[in-house]
Amino acid sequence: MATKALRRWTTDELETAIYSRSLDNIQRYEAERILSERERAPERRLIRQTHNAAAWTRAFSMGTFIVALIILWLLATGKSLP
């Protein structure tokens, strides 16, 4: 059985095959790897969402800082604000 065929199996089918010892060593290793990838998928999504939120927060705070510097520079040079 090809390892690509194992990817089409459901999680329950993979677990049953592993526990029943119906797979050879290579297929069992591949099935365990597929299961561990499926378990990590939600964690990756959460990490990506957290990273995106942090990036937007940093970009917003940097933008606010730059605007504040421009306002201070305008006040220091005596130019009027538009």
Is 56 inside any structural domain? yes
Count of beta carbons in the 10 Å neighbourhood of residue 14: 21
Would you give the DSSP letter of residue 8?
T
Helix spans in the chain (H): 3-7, 11-19, 25-77
Is 82 inside any structural domain? no
Q: How many domains does the chain have?
A: 1
Range of the domain at 36: 3-77
C-alpha angle 3/45/12, rounded to 5°? 40
pLDDT tens per residue across all 82 residues of the chain: 556 688 888 888 888 888 888 888 888 888 889 888 888 888 888 888 899 999 999 999 999 989 889 888 888 888 766 6
